[in-house]
Structure 1
Amino acid sequence: MTDILITPMVVPPTADAPDATEFRAMIELANQAAELDAGIDDLRDTAEQVLPSWLDQSDRVHRGFIARSRGEIVGAAAITTATQSGTSAAEIELMLLPAHAQNGVGAALLERIEQEALVLDRSILQAWTLHPAAGGERMLTPATGWGEVAATPLSELLGANGYALEQVERNSILPFDGTLDDAERRLAEAVAFAGADYRIVSWTLPTPPELRAGYGSMIARMATDVPSGDLEFTVETWDDERVARRDATFAAGGQTMSVAAVVHEPSGAMVAFNELNIGADPIGVTHQWGTLVVKEHRGRRLGTIVKCANILRWRSVAPDSPKISTFNAEENRPMLDINESIGFVPASYAGAWQKRLSSEPNT
């Protein structure tokens, strides 16, 4: 295409505002692309869920762009980066149908988003692509050497523009189509193995004030304690106020989050946690967000404890949700072992890409 026009996206005050057309189009393009690339429809978002994080940019900057051809919206792109001083990395997302990844729309959006990264003084860009579980004719292996994904038009576009495939993540699902006897048994065994030094705490957002500091410390350590290959992340500050802002953003989007965590009694520190999230639709897919056991307390089955405790709790929080969907790095074998023992099965894959920018975009 030679008649591509790219403009900054209008961020509406509400998802149903008269000027919400571009924002809603971005979300729908992302949903369509995710279903086509991953081969499943479990990964859909709604404008209502996503918009609150764009409206409160206290902790993260969000900027979007819309691509049009002959007046029709044919693609969108977004860049997100932490506001914290010293941040060098930003996450980008290209939202377009496969055909537009190859006809110039994707390249134009990528160039524009890289220009914006330089304006924001960000030198490292990271992008995530979705891939089917079934594989394909050409398979791509990440720098970690763990796992592989089938090439897609979007991954080809990124690779052709200097992005390296750094890591592969497995998307697994746990269908809620039977009893949770295995989770109950494994939880009891893990609690007995961990011993009296470890105590389970759980809550539904908003986070109780007395738990915000510990919870924030766990979220912060996702940047350092989760396998991430050569992806570069900045350790961010998560104080009580930021935890409260995050909780409020989920609530504003109509989302419900359950957290199960483990506290180390001798020190009083929170040392493991698991998050389960669902949108406003009670029969929608449940998404696992963060799961972490801090490095100093691994080997005590705390990962099994927080996962199983939260799954069992979830039955009373969202009893009509049909499944849980989660992503884990292929090299994170301990967490995948826990998932598989509970009953999670592969559903799709994701690729994590990274590029270090020079002063000129697309170089």
Structure 2
Amino acid sequence: MTTAALTITPLIVPATLAADDAADFRAYGDLNRLICDEEVGLPDLAPDAAQMLPNWQDDSDALDLGFVARDGDEIIGMVTVSFAQEAEAHAAEIDLLVAAAHRGRGVEEALLTRAEDEARERGRTVLQIWTLHRPEEAERMLVPRTGWGRIPATSLSDAVEAHGFTLEQVERNSELDLRADPEPLRRALAAALEAAGPEYRVIEWQLPTPPELRDGYAAVLARLSTDAPSGDMDFVAEVYDADRVIRRDGRLTAAGQTVSVAAVEHIPSGTLVAYNELLIGAERTGTTHQFGTLVAKEHRGHRLGTIVKCANLLRWRELVPDSSVVSTFNAEENRPMLDINEAIGFVPVSYAGAWQKKI
């Protein structure tokens, strides 16, 4: 096969996965899991088609587009492009999906070019993409511009680098065994609560967010895009209000997903200043994903990160007792959060490279 044999067509977003035009979207879910399996042996890192469909059907906060590469009738790769809808957004987020059997024959370059063309047409000036990597040494190791962490080069990272992207940041993917003795979590939580003092209290809920918490939750969710370490990645300051929380809750709880939130309220101000989210799909024996964790900058140093993580993990063991493991990603330079993870039993299982290209 050569690049001349490729055809690239838009990915159809079906009304349901049972619809007559849903085959490509179902294939997208399968391919997403295959890539995670091939690259790092962790297929459950990827959401399935049912989990992804609600996001694709609602473009209120982010517009998702996809393109399918075929050789004849065979799907040989896909690329997706996500556009944040804030007025100040400059970046397009790309996900390149080419299975090992089809690499090195022009598919990656053709799909990346198609995604870049789409970004240019929509006025974006920055492209961003992530690659997955095993926790191992290789002949060629890549170091990001942050200087924190290193990852082994892969065929997909080579394709991304050849297309003009620069490695900006490395993220660590860690897992916690939910079947382990919970006593260390209880001790860590008790010690952190004592250190934080009486000005802070824990609030917990399961999505959808209670109406009285939506405004406060919106405010702390918006901080993730600006307060979390991101190197020189160009992330727009996300705009949240109660209505966006309602929309987000709807997307996250669709397809039978369960989401638990543990937050910390600063009692004197009545504001939420830290949060942690845990999510699992309809198959509640699968991998749990830590979906978001943040401590607002002005409240760091009070062990609030330990509080929200431990409180939510202990709650999760009762809420979803059949899930065996929690997976989370953190920037390698985010030592405060990695210190918490390591102290309560998380271990590294893979890494992600965050790449960026200005166009």
Q: Same fold (TM over 0.5)?
A: yes
Amino acid corresponding to residue 112 of structure 2 in structure 1: L
> How far apart, CA to CA, are the structure 1 residues paired with 2:328 and 2:137?
19
1:304 to 306, 309, 321: 306
1:36 to 35, 38, 44: 38
- Please state whether the residue corresponding to 2:313 is helix, strand or coil: helix
Match of 2:223 in 1: 221
Amino acid corresponding to residue 221 of structure 1 in structure 2: R
Q: Is the 8 A contact 2:264 2:272 kept in 1?
A: yes
Amino acid corresponding to residue 250 of structure 1 in structure 2: L
> How far apart, CA to CA, are the structure 1 residues paired with 2:138 and 2:122?
37
Match of 1:230 in 2: 232
- Please state whether the residue corresponding to 1:227 is helix, strand or coil: coil
Match of 2:242 in 1: 240
Q: Is the 8 A contact 2:201 2:267 kept in 1?
A: yes
> How far apart, CA to CA, are the structure 2 residues paired with 1:135 and 1:270?
41
TM, length-normalised to structure 1:
0.97
Residues 266-288 of structure 1, C-alpha deviation per residue, up to 9 Å, x if partnerless? 11111000000000001000000
Match of 2:141 in 1: 139
Query: CA shift at 1:100, angstroms?
Result: 2.9
> How far apart, CA to CA, are the structure 1 residues paired with 2:148 and 2:107?
31
Match of 2:209 in 1: 207
Match of 2:179 in 1: 177
- Please state whether the residue corresponding to 2:44 is helix, strand or coil: coil
Match of 1:360 in 2: none
Q: Is the 8 A contact 2:33 2:44 kept in 1?
A: no
Query: CA shift at 1:87, angstroms?
Result: 1.1
> How far apart, CA to CA, are the structure 2 residues paired with 1:262 and 1:224?
19
Query: CA shift at 1:206, angstroms?
Result: 0.2
> How far apart, CA to CA, are the structure 1 residues paired with 2:258 and 2:184?
25
Amino acid corresponding to residue 231 of structure 2 in structure 1: G
Q: Is the 8 A contact 1:42 1:325 kept in 2?
A: no
Is 1:158 the equivalent of 2:160?
yes
Amino acid corresponding to residue 81 of structure 1 in structure 2: F
> How far apart, CA to CA, are the structure 2 residues paired with 1:164 and 1:98?
22
- Please state whether the residue corresponding to 1:296 is helix, strand or coil: helix
> How far apart, CA to CA, are the structure 2 residues paired with 1:88 and 1:27?
27
Match of 2:351 in 1: 349
Match of 2:63 in 1: 61
> How far apart, CA to CA, are the structure 2 residues paired with 1:43 and 1:137?
26
2:84 to 82, 85, 108: 82
Q: Is the 8 A contact 2:143 2:149 kept in 1?
A: yes
Amino acid corresponding to residue 319 of structure 1 in structure 2: P
> How far apart, CA to CA, are the structure 2 residues paired with 1:248 and 1:70?
38
Moved >2 Å (runs of 4+): 39-42, 98-101, 134-137
Q: Is the 8 A contact 1:101 1:157 kept in 2?
A: no
Query: CA shift at 1:135, angstroms?
Result: 3.1
1:24 to 23, 26, 29: 26
Amino acid corresponding to residue 320 of structure 2 in structure 1: A
Q: Is the 8 A contact 1:101 1:107 kept in 2?
A: no
> How far apart, CA to CA, are the structure 2 residues paired with 1:119 and 1:13?
26
> How far apart, CA to CA, are the structure 1 residues paired with 2:313 and 2:349?
19
Query: CA shift at 1:25, angstroms?
Result: 1.2
| Number of aligned residue pairs | 357
> How far apart, CA to CA, are the structure 1 residues paired with 2:209 and 2:274?
16
Is 1:72 the equivalent of 2:104?
no
Amino acid corresponding to residue 140 of structure 1 in structure 2: L
RMSD after superposition: 0.9
Query: CA shift at 1:245, angstroms?
Result: 0.4
Q: Is the 8 A contact 1:30 1:96 kept in 2?
A: no
> How far apart, CA to CA, are the structure 1 residues paired with 2:109 and 2:101?
12
Query: CA shift at 1:253, angstroms?
Result: 2.4
> How far apart, CA to CA, are the structure 1 residues paired with 2:41 and 2:135?
8
> How far apart, CA to CA, are the structure 1 residues paired with 2:179 and 2:207?
26
Is 1:47 the equivalent of 2:49?
yes
> How far apart, CA to CA, are the structure 2 residues paired with 1:205 and 1:80?
24
Query: CA shift at 1:99, angstroms?
Result: 4.2
> How far apart, CA to CA, are the structure 2 residues paired with 1:242 and 1:223?
15
Stretch deviating more after TM superposition (85-94 or 318-327):
85-94
User: What percent of counterpart residues are identical?
Assistant: 54
Amino acid corresponding to residue 149 of structure 2 in structure 1: G
Query: CA shift at 1:176, angstroms?
Result: 1.7
Q: Is the 8 A contact 1:63 1:78 kept in 2?
A: yes
Match of 1:116 in 2: 118
Match of 1:335 in 2: 337
Query: CA shift at 1:62, angstroms?
Result: 0.6
Q: Is the 8 A contact 1:26 1:75 kept in 2?
A: no
> How far apart, CA to CA, are the structure 2 residues paired with 1:101 and 1:210?
51
Match of 1:127 in 2: 129
- Please state whether the residue corresponding to 1:253 is helix, strand or coil: helix
> How far apart, CA to CA, are the structure 2 residues paired with 1:271 and 1:232?
24
Q: Is the 8 A contact 1:168 1:329 kept in 2?
A: yes
> Structure 2, unaligned stretches of length 5 or more?
none
What pairs up with 1:254-269 in 2 under 5 angstroms? 254-269=256-271
Q: Is the 8 A contact 1:203 1:258 kept in 2?
A: yes
